[in-house]
Amino acid sequence: MTPLILTGSSTVGPFFAPCLLRPDAVRQVLAQPGTPGEVIRIEGRVTDGDGAPVTDAMIEIWQANEQGRYNHPSGRGQAPQDESFSGFGRTGTDKDGSYWFETIKPGPVPFAGEQMQAPHISVTIFSRGLLNHLATRLYFEDEAANVTDPVLQSVPANRRDTLVARREGDQAKPVYRFDIVLQGEGETAFFNL
């Protein structure tokens, strides 16, 4: 008789890391040789309400290309689409809650009418204890268009800083720091989508 093996307890199921973070599903490097645009690195940590690292989170990003066009059939705008740049990435957090992506800095994206959105990256967080994923945005501190971005301006002024990635150092490849705080003091602003 085969022994009964119980499944481990987890609110997101035992499939989470083995299925969604298997080596062929992780995609941290979005910028390939020849991808047009400024190559950047995004680094950060995911922490819980006590400031402890979240070691089993999965981070997904979705972004437009350097011209502000998503690699999607219904992508809006006149900007050219770059078939070599998918704009999608996925990774898990390390033992210290850290994660990273290498990508290109996106361009401004059309909004309603003639209005444009500041360059940004959509970020989704999955983790144990979260029955639903969390959605947020990463904006770049050195973008003047942030002050007119309709989505960023809809966030309460005292929470906007949690959506802004800080440029670190003067490296040839810019590094932007974007820490994600799941709750408590300094909690990242999340969107109810």
Domain chopping of the chain, boundaries = 16-181
List Cβ neighbours of 155 (8 Å cut-off, separation of 6 or more).
Answer: 163, 189
The reported pTM is: 0.87
> pLDDT at residue 57 above 60?
yes
Output the pLDDT for position 60: 96
Output the pLDDT for position 72: 76
Question: Which tokens in the block code for residue 5?
Answer: 């093996």
What is the mean pLDDT of the segment spanning 109-137? 90
The CA distance from 94 to 37, in Å, is: 28
Output the pLDDT for position 40: 95
| Per-residue pLDDT tens over the stretch 131-165 | 789 999 999 999 999 999 999 999 999 999 999 99
What is the mean pLDDT of the segment spanning 13-17? 57
> pLDDT at residue 18 above 70?
no
The CA distance from 19 to 11, in Å, is: 15
Report helix, strand and coil shares of the chain as percent, to nearest 5. Answer: 10, 30, 60
Is 63 exposed, middle or buried, given 0-12, 13-18 or 19+ CB atoms closer than 10 A?
buried
Output the pLDDT for position 71: 83
CATH class of 16-181: mainly beta
Output the pLDDT for position 83: 77
Output the pLDDT for position 77: 61
Is 92 exposed, middle or buried, given 0-12, 13-18 or 19+ CB atoms closer than 10 A?
buried
The CA distance from 189 to 161, in Å, is: 9
The CA-based angle 111-192-147, given to 5 degrees, is 40
